[in-house]
Structure 1
Amino acid sequence: MDTTQLAYPRQEQDLAGEDTRLRNWAKNSRLGPAGSVFAPATESELCDFLSTSDGAVRMIGSRMSPGRMMQVANGSGTLLDLSRLSGLISSTDNTVTFAGSTPLADVYAFLTARGQMLDASPGVIAEQTLAGALSTGTHGQGLQQSSIAGSALSIRVVLADGTVAEYAQDHPDFPAVQLGLGSLGVITAVTLRARESMIYTCLKKAVDADTLETDLETWNRDNLMVKAWWFPQENQVQVWTANEASDDDVVRYRAEDSELLEHATTNATMNDTVESTLRQLRDDSRGLADDGKSLRTVSRFRDFTDVTGDIYQVFCRGIATPQINVEIGIPLARAGAVIKKIKDWHAQTRPRMHYPVILRCTGASEGWLSPSHGQDTCYFGFVVYYSADGSLSEEGDSFLRAVERALAEEGGRPHWGKYFDESLYDWPAIYPQWEAFRRVREALDPQHRFANVFTAALLD
């Protein structure tokens, strides 16, 4: 397998007239041949299709993952577009059940309207489907919670033979189904735990990175939620710490019709750092892709201000733009040593970076294939943007490969929904329940109907 090509593929440019469902979101992979998409209108129709047909099947969701995760085997088979199986199915006072292909944005909107939130904090963007978020380990930040899958109480799955199975938290296979890589079946419904929404005040500050090795864990132990962006070249960190808002802040927030409240004072101390990063991004891009959205993602670190809002207003504010995003989970107890290693490597190589290193920590997950399985985890995120011609700069490509090798050597576990070079990882060594997951997969899909080239290389 050509792992180099799989890891960081070039973006395709001329896709005129092609069914957009045949390409992933970043437009760097073709998912299947023309005419391979099947879009059932009901779960019953899906069951009939699986029970009366054969051949490989993969789910495309919102196509946010690398193409290799969704491609059908050997370029043939069926791509399942389940977008018609979306929306609220039922709810109680403290639970909600949504169809698997419901966009996270719709889940969050429903919960917000009735003054609720999930136990899990959100990721940056909400274009993912609920099933896709579970299947790849989408997560937010905060040691008191883990991935979005941690909010799941039960998961309904259509198996390869068209039968339906329900998995509740007490089912022995539930930790496998929580994060199944699309290899166990088709998730058609998820019941989630909901709780009363909290209003947060998020304090933002710029600090130097001299003591980041110890500061990161301290911030996370002392606050409900933390997110940090580290600019190694300038030795600066922008850190957000979010906690329950004061009564005064809540009153001001409600007076503004519960819209995100920006506090009056802005902080310009990182503006020079931001300009330095923007110059490198412009130089390396040789023409900006996606209408310059990449510049806007960096520019937001200028003139920052504290905010008050609900969890989705505060944290789910990303700008979706195609990119190569590598994210590796490291045990929190070893994060300081990894930060020191990156500092030493950066001092020697002085790589050109398009975006700061993203630092998000979560609590342990019960999902067997979750990067945070069994341990508090710090996720190190690295981003390189495409040029207008669909290429990656040589500097950006080299940077990603170097940092991924360094973190893999530390026992890192890559985020399944992002980019990584699988040849760097000894999966059974870093996942204690790897063989248990494989046994569940053999039981649920003995013919490996939901496999493709990528998952077969991992699991067979």
Structure 2
Amino acid sequence: MEKEKIWKSWNENIQHAYTNLHNITTEKELQTLIAASHHIKIFGNKQSSADISAGVSTLVDMRSYDQIVKIDTENKRFTVQSGMRLSTLLEAVENQGWCIPCLPDINTITVGGALATGTHGTSGYILSQYMVECRLVLADGTLKIITAGEELMDAVRVSMGLLGVISEVTFQCETNYTLHVKEGPQKDDHWLSQIKTALKQHDFLRILWLPHTGMGYVITGDKITSETLVQEKQGPKYLKHRRAASKMLYKYSHRFAWTTAIANKLLAFLFFSSKKEHKGSLYQATVTKSRGSTLELAEWTVALDQFPQVFKEIKAELDAWSNRSFVHIPMDVRFIYKDKSWLSYAYGQDTVTMGCVSRNAATADTYAAFESVERIFLKYGGRPHWGKRFKAGDAELSERYPKWNDFKQLRLEMDPTNKFLNAYTTQLLNETPYDDQTKRVAI
């Protein structure tokens, strides 16, 4: 008897049976597979905490579809295949003396996955806003070229792979620059009150909030010439062991939630009390080059003007000892400029994002902090990150995304047979019940 084929996400929290798995290396192969399939899903490095990448009979692994297509030196434009890892893209862009002005936190995800889920960095636009052209494989296997300025581009920039499969992407780059980065702890009352001032003063701003400590770890960056001398301070050598220490201190926090508060204080003292200073390119200075598959994430966004009140409510709830919402540190606070992409978190508003992490991936389903953070953000019109954990559905999302129903209508027009849906996205969009015969595997 043939062994059942199982697709697993990076943390193995999501598992699905499947029938066919294809690795593609050409656009033509991708077109042929899509045209011939009843249901099909595309995946890259499987690092989404949301169930959007599998759950159908036919799967396509895009990771071998990863070549540079064109470098336009005159216009500073870079065209790549969508299965390319961000690390490969960003290093190649840097080799040209360029950068993409706002970079995600990690570099291990694929270009296509980053665009589909609205991946972002801080102090700039979401990554997909820098896409000026793409080639989209439609449900019937035909190819459509979309350029910046077309209304369809605003729909496609963030689309969870539901309008078609992005094959090739052209990014608008700019001349690379060097950042002078300073890091250090600040009391919550101080950094919270200074957000708008800091956004005006600095080219880069990020805050790692440390629940139960009354502190945030503030990271600022200012553009300097590459020749500018900076007296670097890297902090104690033991800082590199933060993840190992976190894993040990949070090992039993799913059983004894209150121990998280003690762990947070210890970790803040050991790893977030030093002042650091260094310089480097945007990529060198701000992007995490690796991340172990030992955590699960939720992330919510809210309008910049609403964030102070949201933060005060979240702090009050997470710091209270009367509930189980003890959250592992740090909670990542970042900033995005408003845009016009239909499903962008920053559609129509300058936005603050706040991440919530569970470092016990296997027990993340019972992590109470995810529910507390979601409830408070929803109260203030918050929008969830498409590639991370949330429970909000069609009713809530239609109130928070002005173009939500337009997107749903467009999806029906572009994919009338629901070829790109799976059970998760069917429920998310409140569409007709899904009929694929594959199943979610119990874990």
Which TM-score bucket, shorter chain as reference?
0.7 to 0.9
Q: Which position in structure 1 is the counterpart of 2:419?
A: 449
> Cα offset for 1:45?
1.7
Structure 2 residue ranges without an equivalent (≥5): 256-263, 432-443
Q: Which position in structure 2 is the counterpart of 1:39?
A: 23
> Does 1:56 pair with 2:26?
no
Q: Which position in structure 2 is the counterpart of 1:337?
A: 309
Deviations 1:342-377 (A, max 9, x none): 222234337433212210011012210011111110
- Assess if the C-alpha contact under 8 Å between 1:405 and 1:424 holds in 2: no
Query: 1: CA distance between counterparts of 2:243 and 2:15?
Result: 35
Q: Which position in structure 1 is the counterpart of 2:227?
A: 250
**Aligned partner letter, 1:408:** L
- Assess if the C-alpha contact under 8 Å between 1:105 and 1:127 holds in 2: yes
Q: Which position in structure 2 is the counterpart of 1:99?
A: 81
Deviations 1:384-430 (A, max 9, x none): 1126xx33495xx1122112211111111000011111249611110
- Assess if the C-alpha contact under 8 Å between 2:185 and 2:274 holds in 1: no
- When residues 31 and 307 of structure 1 are mapped into structure 2, their CA distance, relative to the original with a 3 A threshold, is farther
Q: Which position in structure 2 is the counterpart of 1:220?
A: 199
Give the secondary structure class of the aligned counterpart of 2:250.
helix
- When residues 41 and 87 of structure 1 are mapped into structure 2, their CA distance, relative to the original with a 3 A threshold, is closer
Give the superposed CA RMSD: 3.0
More deviation, 359-368/209-218 = 209-218
More deviation, 177-186/343-352 = 343-352
> Does 1:434 pair with 2:404?
yes
> Does 1:412 pair with 2:382?
yes
Fraction of identical pairs, as percent: 23
- Assess if the C-alpha contact under 8 Å between 1:408 and 1:424 holds in 2: no
Query: 2: CA distance between counterparts of 1:252 and 1:403?
Result: 42
Query: 2: CA distance between counterparts of 1:266 and 1:48?
Result: 54
> Does 1:148 pair with 2:127?
yes
Q: Which of these residues, 314, 318, 326, is aligned with residue 285 of structure 2?
A: 314
Q: Which position in structure 2 is the counterpart of 1:346?
A: 318
More deviation, 317-326/225-234 = 317-326
Deviations 1:107-161 (A, max 9, x none): 1010111111013x2111111111111100000000xx21100100011111111
Q: Which of these residues, 105, 108, 126, is aligned with residue 90 of structure 2?
A: 108
Structure (1 or 2) with the greater helix fraction: 1
> Cα offset for 1:180?
0.9
- When residues 207 and 454 of structure 1 are mapped into structure 2, their CA distance, relative to the original with a 3 A threshold, is same
> Cα offset for 1:196?
0.6
**Aligned partner letter, 2:89:** V
- When residues 198 and 419 of structure 1 are mapped into structure 2, their CA distance, relative to the original with a 3 A threshold, is same
> Does 1:24 pair with 2:5?
no
**Aligned partner letter, 1:126:** N
- Assess if the C-alpha contact under 8 Å between 2:50 and 2:387 holds in 1: no
Deviations 1:27-53 (A, max 9, x none): 1111432x42112231112222223x2
- When residues 313 and 276 of structure 1 are mapped into structure 2, their CA distance, relative to the original with a 3 A threshold, is closer
Query: 2: CA distance between counterparts of 1:357 and 1:64?
Result: 19
- Assess if the C-alpha contact under 8 Å between 1:280 and 1:352 holds in 2: no
> Cα offset for 1:174?
0.8
> Cα offset for 1:178?
0.4
Query: 2: CA distance between counterparts of 1:265 and 1:40?
Result: 43
Structure 1 residue ranges without an equivalent (≥5): 1-16, 254-261, 287-293
Query: 2: CA distance between counterparts of 1:393 and 1:59?
Result: 25
Q: TM-score, normalised by structure 2?
A: 0.85
- When residues 84 and 348 of structure 1 are mapped into structure 2, their CA distance, relative to the original with a 3 A threshold, is closer
> Cα offset for 1:279?
7.3
Query: 1: CA distance between counterparts of 2:48 and 2:243?
Result: 28
- Assess if the C-alpha contact under 8 Å between 2:182 and 2:277 holds in 1: yes
Aligned residue pairs total 411
Query: 2: CA distance between counterparts of 1:445 and 1:393?
Result: 32
Q: Which of these residues, 170, 173, 196, is aligned with residue 194 of structure 1?
A: 173
> Does 1:137 pair with 2:118?
yes
**Aligned partner letter, 1:315:** T
Q: Which position in structure 1 is the counterpart of 2:253?
A: 284
Query: 2: CA distance between counterparts of 1:236 and 1:213?
Result: 10
Q: Which of these residues, 291, 298, 307, is aligned with residue 326 of structure 1?
A: 298
Query: 1: CA distance between counterparts of 2:423 and 2:147?
Result: 30
- When residues 79 and 55 of structure 1 are mapped into structure 2, their CA distance, relative to the original with a 3 A threshold, is same
